[in-house]
Amino acid sequence: MTEKLKIDLGNVQITLLLPLWGRAVETQKKHPVLIDNTALNVINKIDYDFTTISRVIHPVTQFEWIARSMHMDKTINEFLKKYPKATIINIGCGMDTTYERVNNNNLIWYDLDLPDVIELRRKFIPESKNRTYISSSFLNEEWFNKIRVEENVLFMAAGVLYYFEENQIKEIFNKMSNSFPGGEFIFDAATPTGVKAANKMVIEKSGLDENSYLKWGLQSAYEIPGWNSKIEIIEEYPMYKHMTKSLNLKNKIIAKLSDKYKIMYMVHLKFLNA
């Protein structure tokens, strides 16, 4: 039997295991709506007790991670139809496995995260000829200089931006708009109410401490162009929109209420050309 690997991550980084576990759980269902064998393989190799997570995480929360992945995949695949050699930058990649699901062998892919996460990632998921890892904070714009763009660029951030303060997000968005005109960004967001709910229902119940709390709440994506006239909102849409077919009636109602109160939702924006 292969020996499992122990992990040693910071309070925020440890949350990267939650969506990884969620995708692995979905993959093992009789009729999964998302198959992620890489996530399942990694989970089986990590020496971590998922008992608490599996006991306390609500099925709708687990499905939120699946819905988010499906939205990301759809947006990336549509972008690749327009730009087959697009550059995709996975911000705060954690143990995300989107690349394995969307790689068309022509894209240019970058996985960006803090050094300890990238070090862990290398133990389970290798780089390849069109996929490069970057050890850096999202807020340190020096990573801009490591990006190669042939056609256009799409940034993705899954479950990441909540961990920053709004002024930090504003500053880095302004810098990105100047450095990547024409580029697009897909990410998930939450209202302030949604942030409080997520901290209570996910972070606390998972046994993580207040250092892992989400911080940034965004009432509406349409506030962002007010920060910078070079930013345009392509679309804001509910997390569970067209995604609840596999849920039972009770959980469909919970998902509908979550969408109504914007506990979590998706944002797709564009950095306009000057």
CA gap 165, 98 in Å, rounded: 26
Question: 3-state DSSP call for residue 232?
Answer: strand
Question: What integer pLDDT is reported at residue 1 of this predicted model?
Answer: 46
- Give per-residue pLDDT as tens, 14-58: 677 889 999 999 999 998 999 999 999 998 888 877 777 777 778
Question: 3-state DSSP call for residue 88?
Answer: strand
| Helical pair 59-82 and 249-260, crossing angle rounded to 10 deg | 60
Q: Name the residue among 91, 70, 237 with its Cα closest to residue 162.
A: 91
Question: What integer pLDDT is reported at residue 206 of this predicted model?
Answer: 60
Tell me the one-letter amino acid at 115. Answer: P
| Helical pair 37-45 and 17-27, crossing angle rounded to 10 deg | 120
**What Å distances lie between residue 114 and 94, 110, 160, 226, CA to CA?**
9, 13, 12, 30
One digit per residue, pLDDT tens: the chain, 274 residues?
Answer: 456 777 665 555 567 788 999 999 999 999 899 999 999 999 888 887 777 777 777 888 889 999 999 999 999 999 999 999 999 999 999 999 999 999 999 999 999 999 988 988 998 999 999 999 999 999 999 999 999 999 999 999 999 998 899 999 999 999 999 999 999 999 999 999 888 877 776 655 565 556 667 889 999 999 999 999 999 999 999 999 888 888 889 999 989 988 988 889 999 999 998 6
Question: What integer pLDDT is reported at residue 201 of this predicted model?
Answer: 64
* Domains of the chain (ranges, CATH numbers): 5-271 (3.40.50.150)
The pTM is what? Answer: 0.90
